[in-house]
Structure 1
Amino acid sequence: MQNSIILQNLSREDLTDLIGNVFDTKFKDIQKIQNTQTENNDLMTRSEVLELLQINASTLWHYQNKGRITVYKIANKCFYKRNEIMQSLIALKKM
């Protein structure tokens, strides 16, 4: 009952602004979620992975050969998916 009284007191322009603000807020929330997901799927170069993991090139090569990290090659350039790198990290158990 209260909601209908409030809506009756709103002008058409106020109602349009209210609805627009709700849609803007929801749209921005969806954009944030989508941006977070695409950031996680970014391709990283070899040097970026080395810096992220703080390892040297030979260690990265061993990880690739053992199948711990997947490498994608385009025109002899190596790329890695950020989310796959993060998933390859293993949590240590405390003893």
Structure 2
Amino acid sequence: MEKNITQLHDITPSEFQESLIRHFEFRLKEILERLDNNSKDKLLTREQTAEMLSISLGTLWSWTRKGILISYRIGNKVMYKQHEVYESLVRINHSKTSHNG
């Protein structure tokens, strides 16, 4: 396997991190803006939400319990609104930005 090495000059590690966070926040906001009203209210199962976030069901439950994500009970099913999951990602990234500054 060939390794590629990338060197950055004239930027501190924290400046690079801030730049990455700003980029991801911008991309997430773009995704939210592209969602039309029909897909904004799309409901996701626990499994779909965990898969979308690439996390385990245990982590999903923990994030829900901590209030990071909002869940809705419909009968005996727990569901998540797709646009609220995306908005939570923006909030998570924003809070990391303010704690590292």
TM-score (norm: length of structure 2):
0.54
Alignment match, 2:83: 83
Superposition deviation, residue 76 in structure 1: 1.2
Q: Could you give the per-residue CA deviations for residues 22-61 of structure 1, whole angstroms, max 9, x where no partner exists?
A: xxxxxxxxxxxxx812112211111110110000011001
Report the AA paired with residue 76 of structure 2. Answer: N
Q: Would you say 1:42 and 2:42 are equivalent positions?
A: yes
After the TM superposition, which residues 11-22 of structure 1 pair with which residues of structure 2 at under 5 Å, given as runs?
none
Structure 2: gaps (5+ residues): 1-34
1 CA distance for matches of 2:50 and 2:65?
16
2 CA distance for matches of 1:84 and 1:76?
21
How many residue pairs align between the two structures? 61
Alignment match, 1:30: none
Alignment match, 1:70: 70
1 CA distance for matches of 2:39 and 2:62?
26
- Identity across matched positions, percent: 34
Superposition RMSD on alpha carbons, in Å?
1.8
- Structure showing greater Rg: 1
Structure 1: gaps (5+ residues): 1-34
2 CA distance for matches of 1:83 and 1:50?
14
Superposition deviation, residue 65 in structure 1: 0.6
Report the AA paired with residue 85 of structure 2. Answer: I
TM-score (norm: length of structure 1):
0.57
SS of 1:86 mapped into structure 2: helix
